[in-house]
Amino acid sequence: MNPFQQEYQTDEDDKSLIERAVKGSKSALESLLKKHQPFIFNIAWKMVQNPNDAQDITQEVLIKVTTKLSQFRGESQFRTWLYRIVANHFLKMRKIGREEVVTDFQSFGGILDSFENVELTELEQEEKENEIREMNLACMSGMLLCLTRDQRMVYILGELFNADHTVGSEILGISKQNFRVRLSRARKDLFQFMNHKCGLVNKANPCRCYKKVTVMIESKRIDSKNLLFNREEYSNFQEYISKDADEALSIVEDQYRQLHDRLPFRKDFDRKTFLDEVISDEKVVRLFNLN
């Protein structure tokens, strides 16, 4: 269940798992982390764009959350407590990877313009369909880096995870009005850029993913055998996150929103990907005396 939806009603299950985990139950700790791991990873992924960087950051966050678990007193919903730690970590961590390259919409637009346009026939477009979709998803993901970290976090929670202003404001420790204002500004900034740059939103714009894909492949920025975004095992936000749009906040056309809904959502993880390393971390084992 999406923990950012109002109908999220599993706090009692969370509290039971926490009580057992702090008493040393390895299975309870594993169940708790496994439950929230996909959402933490996908926030990290959208914050930094690169899934490999997101994996490292997620592990750091899971260890931080785990070592603070005994501090949870039940004075707020566990969801609020947990994701406030997550959000604070992402907002305060050092810049990493592509964050140091893409600093604003102007720099991102310059990067896109620097890639030569190469026309493709319809047949060539069909042959490179997977790579073109990869280019589209990479571009959409890169646009999020143009937002400030505060805007990016609000946009990820409010637009991609569909957290309403009550849940979002609780997690970020801001007023509901402030959350609404930040989300509205983030949406406007993204839409304004896309409306002036992206051919998918405004057909008058010359920028097309299929025109950029040849150079991206030749420069090895896209690896046809190892796509980062367009993979069969990934869902997308449109499919996985239930939508109950707040019309009062909607300031853009459906087409623009649908493009961001296509961003990939990774929900399935090999247990060893994160949990084994977190649960076997020396600080965690020492703190909980896991068994």
DSSP string, 132-183: HHHHHHHHHHHHHTTS-HHHHHHHIIIIIS---HHHHHHHHTS-HHHHHHHH
What is the CATH T-level fold of the domain 9-99+269-291, as seen in this structure? Rna Polymerase Sigma Factor; Chain: A (1.10.1740)
Q: List, in order, residues 6 or more apart from 196 with CB less than 8 Å away.
A: 202, 205
Q: Taking the CB of residue 255, how many other CB atoms lie within 10 A of it?
A: 11
Q: What is the pLDDT of residue 245?
A: 46
Q: What is the pLDDT of residue 248?
A: 38
Q: What is the pLDDT of residue 243?
A: 56
Task: Give the whole-angstrom CA distance, residue 247 versus residue 191.
Answer: 16
Q: What is the pLDDT of residue 27?
A: 87
Q: What is the pLDDT of residue 251?
A: 45
* Tokens 């604003």 belong to residue: 104
Q: Spell out the per-residue pLDDT of the chain, length 291, in tens.
A: 788 876 665 666 888 888 888 888 888 888 888 888 999 999 999 999 998 899 999 999 999 998 898 888 877 888 899 999 999 999 999 998 889 899 999 999 999 999 999 999 999 999 999 999 999 999 999 999 999 999 999 999 999 998 999 999 999 999 999 999 999 999 999 999 999 999 888 889 989 999 999 999 999 999 999 999 999 888 888 777 755 544 434 444 556 667 788 898 888 776 566 667 776 666 666 666 665
- Reduced to 3 states (helix: H, G, I; strand: E, B; else coil), residue 265 is strand
Cα-based distances in Å from 235 to 129, 208, 267, 285, 287: 18, 24, 7, 34, 36
Find residue 265's DSSP bridge partners.
235
Determine whether 291 is exposed, middle or buried from the number of CB atoms within 10 Å of its CB (0-12, 13-18, 19+): exposed
**Where along the chain do its domains lie?**
9-99+269-291, 101-226+234-267
User: How far is C-alpha 257 from the geometric centre of its chain's CA atoms?
Assistant: 15
